[in-house]
Amino acid sequence: MLFRLYFLIVLLIPAFLEVNCGKQFRLGRAKGGNLGAPQGVAHEEVPPAKWFKQKLDHSAPTDLRTWKQRYFINDTFYDNKSGPVFLMVGGEGPADPRWMVKGTWIDYARKFRAMCIMLEHRYYGESHPTDDVSTKNLQYLSSYQALADVANFISSMNIEYGFDPSRIKWVAFGGSYPGSLAAWLRVKYPHLVFASVSSSGPLLAKLDFKEYYEVVANAIQEKTTSSNCLKKVRAGHKQVVALMNANPRVLDKEFRTCKPLSTASKNDIKNFYNGIADDFAELVQYNEDNRMSLNTKYKNITINTVCDMLINSNDTALKALAKFNSIMLDKSNQTCMDYSYDSMIREMRNISWTSTEGGRQWIYQTCTEFGFYQTSSGEVDLFGDQFGIDFFVQQCVDIFGKKFNKDFINKGIKWTNSEYGAMEITAPKVVYVHGSVDPWHALGMTKTRANDAPAIFVKGSAHCADMYPGRDSDIAELVRARESVEILLSQWLQLP
């Protein structure tokens, strides 16, 4: 049952990479999805894409409409007599086949002789259920439909491969939003999914995720030996606010704005402040996570290197802050800082598949299911209370329509927490892994509440860091976390 592997030549690599244009980090999500590619894959062989005939609407049994969902299989390690099936759940970005040959789950697969399958999430990557991503068509985009996709896929694969459901154990893996899905699969489909490894998955849907920037501030404090870094950031933001009122032309020059701030609307200004804060959010969320860098020149941008630059610079706090902003612009190949609210809304209103990388789809899910809006209201002293919850609710309305207001969003959030259990989730054989540096841990399971659903909280680790290939420089806590997951899998896979 071995698949044929195809060489991934250099010319094909860019097909898997995101085009660096526009803002690269928004709403706590990296462009192309929060789970990056694993390091160490350049010229290696990856499996070809396969396609599964999936139902469009699982809530309507008599609706026979279907579409093609992309997936990948690696069965080179598989022992068809006793091996389990490992399933990596897709999320808010394209399924990257490089995960089929690298990553911690591949190390586990070698040990447990598992078949590895990765299923792409509907509406992301190449999995297109509808002709476009118009608001009408996005009605079929939800965590409910995505979980049902997985259930239908597993049932079909059991038939296709002749798996005996009473003997073959499916183990779900996921990082970030897919980490949530991996846990929720054990809630909704425990008869199909035997166990799950949930990495950096938020379980609590929440409108005002003010804790996000609180963790950003705490992480900067945790990873540096001096409080001077936060002091300089704080001082820089205060100078920005003062200049915004007195002489915004200075900010245009220092922050390389695409248009003069003197002409900016109120929402433009909020977007500008949000953009500065997002620089630090991106820095912290992915700090030393061992993901594949799109630009090796900037792969060593960490909390420590940035704070060293801020503290040791003879520049004013404002100039030091602007210098960091320039680094982040250059990192994503942006010539200027585009803070235009209208431009952002126009981009998110585009309904064609060719122009979207998943940003519109993810915002839709936040507006209908999760919230997750990283407001400034929890860290006023550091970033200023410049982008509150109304700023994000307005985006839902402006992108999708008037009905997507605060009441509408809150109803979706209430449904999500009721459907899956939020922090009161009851699902055995799930291990939750979170890093203290990752802001998303504030909405996740970081303390063990049941012996058969342990939580592993890794001090000093970032978003999904446990999923990436290990390296000699990994902190001891991260190494132990990977080992602990392996021990749990070993124990669980021996259970009937």
Does residue 40 register a pLDDT over 90?
A: no
Q: Residue 397: which of 413, 385, 409 has the closest Cα?
A: 409
Mean pLDDT, range 123-145, rounded to an integer:
98
Q: Please give the average per-residue pLDDT across 289-306, as a whole number.
A: 75
Residue 150, C-beta contacts closer than 8 angstroms, at least 6 positions apart:
87, 89, 119, 172, 181, 185, 189, 192, 193
Task: Read off the pLDDT of each residue in 268-274 and give the average, rounded to a whole number.
Answer: 97
CATH superfamily for 207-412 is Serine carboxypeptidase S28, SKS domain (1.20.120.980)
- pLDDT confidence band for 223 (50 / 70 / 90): confident
Average pLDDT for the chain: 92
Burial, 479: exposed, middle or buried (Cβ in 10 Å; 0-12, 13-18, 19+)? Answer: middle
Which segment of 2-11, 243-252, 401-410, 483-492 scores lowest on mean pLDDT? 2-11
Q: Say what the pLDDT of residue 5 is.
A: 39
Q: What was the pLDDT predicted at 295? A: 53
Average pLDDT, integer, range 265-290: 94
Lowest mean pLDDT among 11-15, 156-160, 167-171: 11-15
Please write down the HEC assignment for all residues of the chain. Answer: CCCCCEECCHHHHHHHCCCCCCCCEECCEECCCCCCCECCCCCCEECCCEEEEEECCCCCCCCCCEEEEEEEEECCCCCCCCCCEEEEECCCCCCCHHHHCCCHHHHHHHHHCCEEEEECCCCCCCCCCCCCCCCCHHHHCCHHHHHHHHHHHHHHHHHHCCCCCCCCCEEEEEECHHHHHHHHHHHHCCCCCCEEEEECCCCCCEEECCHHHHHHHHHHHHHCCCCHHHHHHHHHHHHHHHHHHHCHHHHHHHCCECCCHHHCCHHHHHHHHHHHHHHHHHHHHCCCCCECCCCHHHCCCCHHHHHHHHHHCCCCHHHHHHHHHHHHHHHCCCCCECCCHHHHHHHHHCCCHHHCCCHHHHHHHHHHHHEEECCCCCCHHHHCCCCCHHHHHHHHHHHHCCCCCHHHHHHHHHHHHHHHCHHHCCCCCEEEEEECCCHHHHHCCCCCCECCECEEEECCCCCCHHHCCCCCCCCHHHHHHHHHHHHHHHHHHCCC
What the block records as the tokens of 405 is 């207001």
Band of pLDDT at residue 291, cut at 50, 70 and 90: confident
pLDDT band at 4 (very low <50, low <70, confident <90, very high): very low
Q: Which of 347, 345, 344, 328 is nearest to 336 (CA)?
A: 328
Task: Give residue-wise pLDDT tens across range 52-102.
Answer: 999 999 999 999 999 999 999 999 999 988 899 999 999 999 999 999 999
Domain boundaries, the chain: 6-10+24-205+420-493, 207-412
Does the pLDDT at position 43 exceed 60? no
Give the fold, CATH level 3, of 6-10+24-205+420-493.
Rossmann fold (3.40.50)
What confidence tier does 278 reach under pLDDT thresholds 50, 70, 90?
A: very high
Confidence of residue 297 (pLDDT cuts 50, 70, 90): low
pLDDT at 7: 34
**Residue 293 scores a pLDDT above 70:** no
Q: What percent of the chain has pLDDT over 70?
A: 93
Give the pLDDT confidence of 177-217 residue by residue, as tens digits.
999 999 999 999 999 999 999 999 999 999 999 999 999 99
- pLDDT of 329 above 60: yes
What does the pLDDT read at residue 384?
A: 87
d(CA 269, CA 121): 34
Average pLDDT estimate for 342-361: 92
pLDDT of residue 294: 52
The more confidently predicted of residues 44 and 281 is 281
Residues annotated as part of the active site:
176, 438, 463
Residue 368 has pLDDT above 80, yes or no: yes
Given a cut of 90, whether residue 414 has pLDDT beyond it is yes
pLDDT at residue 121 above 50? yes
What integer is the mean pLDDT of 419-433? 97
Residue 379 has a pLDDT of: 86
Segment among 344-358, 403-417, 436-450 with least mean pLDDT = 344-358
